[in-house]
Structure 1
Amino acid sequence: MAWAPLLLTLLTYCSGVSSQPVVTQEPSMSVTPGGAVTLSCSLSTGAITTSNYPAWYQQKPGSAPRLLIYNTNNRPSGIPARFSGSISGNNAALTITGVQAEDEADYYCAVYSFHRLEIPLAWVQPFSASPGSVPPVFPAVSLGGESEKSHNDVTPLP
């Protein structure tokens, strides 16, 4: 069975006011199934640390988001070991090793920070399954402020 490479195309959508933290992504990259890919998210207000409790979610079309990683590098029961979380430099990172075709999905990075009276906010960052598609419905937690989103794509090459 022939494997089609996967293309990770990153598009950024920002909303809210400029004083709010913004989550951003690195430029596009491609990965062949069986290879490895690292997705990362950064926060404009500073380094992401374990105190930001980074989490990663996967969402496939028609399904609810599935928690892959919580508290930086913890996997819930049933999540394959090929998914791993870390802090890389100032960013939160999700690494998928031995990429499989079934890994085509939307991926979300959620990081917690503080803004205004130390009220925690969460920003959710989607990686969408098709270029130009509407980001999947997954509400960001927002207590006392707006959320910031970036939109990224993971699609198979023709």
Structure 2
Amino acid sequence: AIQVTQSPASLPASLGDTVSITCRASQSVSSYVAWYQQQPGKAPKLLIYKASSLHSGVPSRFKGSGSGTDFTLTISGLQAEDVATYYCYHTENTVCGFHAAIVFKVGGKAW
């Protein structure tokens, strides 16, 4: 099974910051990675699919990059509504497979 790890697990930040969240797979997954955001009390929301494609309606301050084993979600100009838990998914053959609990609390103690 493909293992997925993340860095950092918790990321304190301030309004206006640029923050980066990374996801690493134990073997190449090509570009089959998606990023989701879950705000408190809400369902997860798709941000990025196929590593770098921005989902419709998602603000352009969210950017996905990477391929192979290393992937990054960058949020530029952090806003209050970006304080959330972020999940990295490995997808294969368009079927979403949750391989690890990749959890990031953007904001952390700063909020």
When normalised by structure 1's length, the TM-score is 0.58
- 2:48 equivalent to 1:69: yes
Q: Is the 8 A contact 1:48 1:91 kept in 2?
A: no
- 2:17 equivalent to 1:38: no
1:95 maps to 74
- 2:7 equivalent to 1:22: no
For this pair of structures, how many residues does the alignment match?
Answer: 108
Per the alignment, do residues 56 and 35 of structure 1 end up closer, same or farther by CA in structure 2, a change over 3 Å counting?
same
* Aligned counterparts of 2:33 and 2:17: Cα–Cα separation in 1: 24
Question: Matches of residues 49-60 of structure 1 in structure 2 within 5 Å?
Answer: 49-50=30-31, 53-60=32-39
Structure with higher strand content: 2
- The structural deviation recorded for 1:70 is 0.8
Amino acid of the structure 1 residue aligned with 2:101: K
- The structural deviation recorded for 1:153 is 2.8
* Aligned counterparts of 1:84 and 1:108: Cα–Cα separation in 2: 14
Q: Is the 8 A contact 2:30 2:68 kept in 1?
A: no
* Aligned counterparts of 2:68 and 2:96: Cα–Cα separation in 1: 22
* Aligned counterparts of 1:88 and 1:23: Cα–Cα separation in 2: 14
Give 5+ residue unaligned stretches, structure 1: 1-19, 115-119, 124-146
Question: Matches of residues 137-148 of structure 1 in structure 2 within 5 Å?
Answer: 147-148=99-100
When normalised by structure 2's length, the TM-score is 0.79
Larger radius of gyration: 1
Amino acid of the structure 1 residue aligned with 2:97: A
- The structural deviation recorded for 1:33 is 1.5
Identity of paired residues, percent? 42
* Aligned counterparts of 1:33 and 1:149: Cα–Cα separation in 2: 26
1:34-91, Cα deviation, whole Å (9 max, x unpaired): 11111111112x23422xx211111112211111111111112211000011106831
Structure 1 segments of 4+ aligned residues over 3 angstroms from their partners: 27-30
